[in-house]
Amino acid sequence: MKNKDYSYLYANWDDTVRRRKITLSNPVFVKGLALAPVVVAGTTVQNGILLCIAVFFLLTPTRIITSLITRHMSVPFKTFFYPFVSALVFAFVYYYMYRYLGTRVLLLGVYLPILVIDPLIVKNFEKTRKESVLYSVINGLRNTMGFVVACLLVCAVREFLAFGTIAGIKVIGVALLPMAQYSFGGFLIVALLSGIWSTAIRNYKYKVKVEAMHSERLS
């Protein structure tokens, strides 16, 4: 990356963070959203995929519908309307997931429907500014991809540590950390990964700052 690119990134850091939902503002590792489903239900890659499918078909459609209808609503009304729309969308999502994936969706217990009221899905109600449909689609997909990356990473690590497998494929013949399959172990792993993720972000920001200052001196 050229120095002038670093200068632009540093000058527009907050905007860059908002746009980079996968890395700089990951909804799970940075914002701490959807922790309950990931920590409790995300014990294997299979469970993680089910969570990702649900979020993919739930987050962006909910955001689009609400952006069209809540333009003239006050925040108190949005507070009730967002979960209502989310629940309606989830009813269709759950029906088709159960129809095509069978009883596997039951493996997630209450932590699949709990997504309906998770801040990952309904957090947008607190915003007072109007949101265009295009922005809803783009930002919804960015948040979805951020969740997918974080969820699958956590699930793969937990499955490997708890069972010695990844996506059901045997990697080692011993369980390195059996407690990784339980909620307590899930919290520890998410906390550890979040710490590593945050450290990487701080290092990247420092690099951007140094390169931007170097570029200013050259100019």
Q: What is the pLDDT of residues 50-98, one digit of tens each?
A: 999 999 999 999 988 888 887 677 767 777 888 899 999 999 999 999 9
From CA 115, how far away is CA 132, in angstroms rounded? 24
From CA 156, how far away is CA 153, in angstroms rounded? 5
- Alpha carbon 33 to its chain centroid, in Å, reads 7
Query: CB 61: neighbour CB atoms within 10 A?
Result: 20
Element (H, E) at 1: none
Number of domains in the chain: 1
Task: Tell me the two tokens of residue 95.
Answer: 């029906």
Place of tokens 């459609």: 61
Element (H, E) at 170: strand 169-170
Amino acid at position 193, single letter: L
Place of tokens 């990487």: 200
Residue 133 has pLDDT above 70, yes or no: yes
Phi–psi pair at 169, nearest 5 degrees: -95, 125
Q: What is the mean pLDDT of residues 179-207?
A: 95
Task: Tell me the two tokens of residue 192.
Answer: 């550890």
Most confident of 4-8, 42-46, 60-64, 213-217: 42-46
Residue 106's domain comprises: 3-218
Task: Tell me the two tokens of residue 187.
Answer: 């919290």
